[in-house]
């Protein structure tokens, strides 16, 4: 992939338009997980060291959906504002971060670090509107994309803006691209663990099958595969959208499915639960975790792995009672010698819950973007835009920007 990074640019004293991914977790109006803010600090501090003026922008939630539901703009702005992010970033930097209450300003305050309001409050953002992107670009001399988690979206602040400024990848973006690209020519044996519930895993499985030695299946996706074999999963959740794919691949030699489970009478932390083989699940009960035999089987397969991709939990890890399978496999990988890459939002949340993030080789901040990156061999709109900018701006002779 040909794109510029921060270290390829002459940035001293420049105005930098920096796209971050501050789509953080909120609860009761407070940020409960600031990881995505902290992950951008290396890029921001590097730019501060270059005496840059930094104009930050990010999306948060889906405010346009709220507007379509009939909520007033005042309600939507209050619910989807990035103002608390500005406050938290200021604390982390030990430096004032000026918040601008607009996602499309004609000018910004003369401050070293500025954060614009949620880009998705402007409807032009998701339309990849070039006029909107051009106005954003007018605020700066250089564009830096450090928002890997948004790289799979052809939105104005990620894609169209690169047409109007010399553009490069921030440290986080560059790290994500390099780590995930390593999966295209991995050290063998290469094992993938694919779990969770969403149908977005199907494309990933298809792209991985020619490369992996085995794919371990868990979560709701495993239920779907089991049902596709004509087995009775009783009241267990499965994904209707993935069923036809599962029927085609359920007996593939590289696919590994669970054999025993922890089942419950309802989906709740305090549900009645028991161990069960597939034929022993009571009527109406549901599979919420894998059990001992399956955990041992999965660990035995992972023991020889040199590369592991983990995308999706193996059970309902959010409930401690049904987190054993996910936790034990996570702990096993944390102590292994394999290069372990964790992708997808739920997997990242799981290893974070178990305090194992720092013991993994790489935990992606990308959520769905990391899965699409793998499926599409890195050809995501935000990354393609950086590559096109690299070529077009070189041709236009912007040598004063490039080293």
Q: What is the pLDDT of residues 51-62, one digit of tens each?
A: 999 999 999 999
Q: For residues 75 and 192, which has the higher predicted lDDT (pLDDT)?
A: 192
- The verdict on domain 6-173+379-395 having CATH code 3.40.50.1260 is yes
Q: Is the pLDDT of residue 264 over 60?
A: yes
Q: Of 162, 54, 151, which is closest to residue 109 (Cα–Cα)?
A: 54
Query: Residue 234 has what DSSP assignment?
Result: T
By annotation, the residues acting in catalysis are 36, 198, 345, 368
Enumerate helices (H) and strands (E) in the chain, giving the number of each. 15, 17
Secondary-structure breakdown of the chain: helix, strand, coil percentages, each rounded to the nearest 5: 40, 20, 40
Three-state SS for 266? coil
pLDDT digits (tens, 9 = 90+) for 111-134: 999 999 999 999 999 999 999 999
Average of per-residue pLDDT values in the chain: 94
Q: Could you give phi then psi for residue 309, rounded to 5 degrees? A: -110, 130
Tens of pLDDT, residue by residue over 335-358, are 999 999 999 878 999 999 999 999
34 CB-side CA count, 13 A = 15
- What are the residues whose beta carbons fall under 8 Å from the beta carbon of 68, sequence distance 6 or more? none
Query: CA 5 to CA 15: how far, in whole Å?
Result: 16
- Among the ranges given (101-105, 338-342, 388-392), the one the predictor scored with the smallest mean pLDDT: 388-392
**For residue 189, cis peptide bond before it (omega within 30 degrees of 0):** yes
Return the pLDDT at 199. 67
Q: Is a pLDDT exceeding 90 seen at residue 201?
A: no
Share of the chain above pLDDT 90, in %: 86
Q: Domain locations in the chain?
A: 6-173+379-395, 178-375
Same fold, 6-173+379-395 and 178-375: yes
Query: In what order do the strands lie in the sheet containing 260-264?
Result: 273-277, 260-264, 286-290
Q: For residue 142, give the nearest of 283, 248, 47 by alpha carbon.
A: 47
Residue 176, pLDDT > 50, answer yes
Instruction: Give tens-digit pLDDT for 68-102.
Output: 888 898 888 989 999 999 999 999 999 999 999 99
Would you say residue 322 has pLDDT above 80?
A: yes
Which pTM does this prediction carry? 0.92
DSSP 8-class letter at 9:
B
Cα–Cα dist 91/241, whole Å: 44
What does the alpha-carbon distance between residue 67 and residue 170 come to, in Å, rounded to a whole number?
32
Measured in degrees and rounded to the nearest 5, phi and psi for residue 32 equal -100, -15
In this predicted structure, what is the pLDDT of residue 162? 97
Instruction: Say if residue 303's pLDDT is above 70.
Output: yes
Q: If pLDDT is split at 50, 70 and 90, which confidence band does 392 have?
A: confident
Homologous superfamily of the 178-375 domain (CATH): Phosphoglycerate kinase, N-terminal domain (3.40.50.1260)
């Amino acid at each position: 992939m040909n794109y510029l990074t921060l270290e390829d640019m002459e940035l001293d004293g420049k105005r930098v338009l920096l796209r971050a991914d501050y789509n953080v977790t909120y609860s009761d109006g407070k940020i409960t997980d600031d990881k995505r803010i902290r992950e951008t600090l290396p890029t921001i501090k590097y730019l501060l060291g270059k005496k840059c003026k930094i104009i930050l922008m990010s999306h948060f939630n889906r405010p346009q959906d709220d507007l379509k539901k009939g909520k007033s703009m005042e309600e939507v702005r209050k619910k989807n504002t990035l103002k608390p992010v500005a406050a938290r970033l200021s604390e982390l930097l030990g430096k004032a971060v000026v918040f601008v209450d607009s996602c499309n300003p004609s000018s910004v305050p003369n401050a070293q670090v500025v954060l614009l309001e949620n880009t998705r409050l402007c409807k032009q953002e998701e339309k990849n509107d070039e006029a909107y992107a051009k106005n954003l670009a007018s605020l700066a001399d250089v564009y830096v994309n450090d928002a890997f988690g948004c790289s799979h979206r052809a939105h104005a602040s990620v894609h169209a803006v690169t047409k109007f400024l010399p553009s490069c990848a921030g440290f986080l973006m560059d790290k994500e691209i390099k780590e995930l690209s390593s999966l295209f020519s991995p050290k063998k044996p290469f094992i993938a663990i694919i779990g969770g519930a969403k149908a977005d895993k199907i494309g990933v499985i298809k792209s991985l099958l020619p490369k992996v030695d085995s794919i371990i299946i868990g979560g709701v996706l495993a239920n779907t595969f089991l049902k596709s074999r004509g087995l009775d999963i009783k009241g267990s959740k499965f994904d209707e959208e993935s069923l036809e794919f599962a029927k085609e691949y359920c007996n593939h030699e590289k696919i590994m499915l669970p054999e025993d489970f922890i089942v419950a009478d309802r989906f709740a932390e305090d549900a009645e639960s028991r161990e069960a083989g597939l034929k022993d699940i009571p009527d109406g009960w549901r599979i919420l975790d894998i059990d001992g035999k399956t955990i041992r089987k999965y660990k035995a397969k992972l023991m020889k792995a040199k590369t592991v991709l983990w995308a999706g939990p193996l059970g309902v890890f959010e409930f401690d009672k049904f987190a054993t399978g996910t936790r034990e496999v996570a702990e096993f990988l944390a102590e292994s010698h394999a290069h372990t890459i964790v992708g997808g939002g739920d997997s990242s949340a799981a290893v974070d819950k178990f305090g194992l993030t720092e013991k993994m080789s790489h935990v992606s901040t990308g959520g769905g973007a990391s899965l699409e990156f793998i499926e599409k061999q890195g050809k995501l709109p935000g990354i393609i835009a950086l590559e096109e900018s690299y070529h077009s701006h070189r041709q236009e002779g912007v040598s004063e920007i490039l080293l």
